[in-house]
Amino acid sequence: MTKKPAYKRILLKLSGEAMMGSQQHGIDAEMCASLAAQIKEVRVLGVQMALVVGGGNIFRGQVESKRFGLDRSVADYMGMLATVLNGLALQNALEKIHVPTRVMTAIEMHAVAEPYIRRRAMRHLEKDRVVIFVAGTGNPYFTTDTAAALRATEVNAEVILKATKVDGVYSSDPMKNKDAKRFKQLRFIDVLKKNLKVMDATAISMCMDNNLPIVVFNLLKPGNIKKVVLGEDIGTVVH
């Protein structure tokens, strides 16, 4: 008997680093193809999917503003434009395998993507198109984590799936501390109190205010997106 999805509408948050694959920088075509195949697997289940993608594989505003002495606002806008590149690459990979996709941007650029309009985004989701939100919130000083929380709330997503390099939320960095403890479940308030690096505080607060759960899981294991959507016990649930 085929398992039913645990969610009808989800928002998948991908970091820019997820787009690098095995490379040190930029966009990896194989990783894009793998992500597209996993997204298609979930869409076939009848789940409506929105995505928010970061831009850290190309340009990270907060870091680069310090490194190059750029004004923070300018650096953040540059980072937002980097997310557009990633979104277009992902759209191309999805459409190659016949997944209807729309890229919607918070910074208008009519030649490459639709402007973000909430009602239009909802309509695309209802028509089973994968919607990729790019350019963050369109404002400097906000991360793509906050953009994910905002867009998920706006389109009435039931959950944010936060794809990472590790299999959940740990008490400390598991790459540096072998004794780090993995949490199966966490409350939003505990994430804020313990300063756990799930998402930034603005995003966590928004999810807490809107009762929007977050599932943090390992993207590097193929098939994990589908497993999370089917409600399997992987990763960490923040609620």
H or E element in which residue 190 lies:
helix 188-193
pLDDT at residue 146 above 90? yes
Phi, psi of 137 (to 5 degrees): -90, -5
Q: Would you say 43 and 5 are in contact if contact means Cβ atoms under 8 Å apart? A: no
Q: Is residue 3 part of a domain?
A: no
Asked, for residue 165, whether it belongs to a domain, the answer is yes
Within a domain: 1 = no
Considering its fold, how many domains does the chain have in total? Answer: 1
List the CATH number of the domain containing 144. Answer: 3.40.1160.10
pTM: 0.94
Residue 2 in domain: no
- In this structure, what are the phi and psi dihedrals at residue 10, rounded to the nearest 5 degrees? -125, 160
Tens of pLDDT, residue by residue over 81-115, are 999 999 999 999 999 999 999 999 999 999 999 99
Cα 49 to Cα 107: distance, rounded to the nearest angstrom: 21
DSSP state of 19: G
The verdict on residue 183 lying in a domain is yes
DSSP 50: E
Which structural domain range is residue 99 located in? 9-238
Which residue in the block uniquely carries the two structure tokens 């028509």?
127
Give a yes or no: residue 63 inside a domain. yes
pLDDT of residue 63: 74
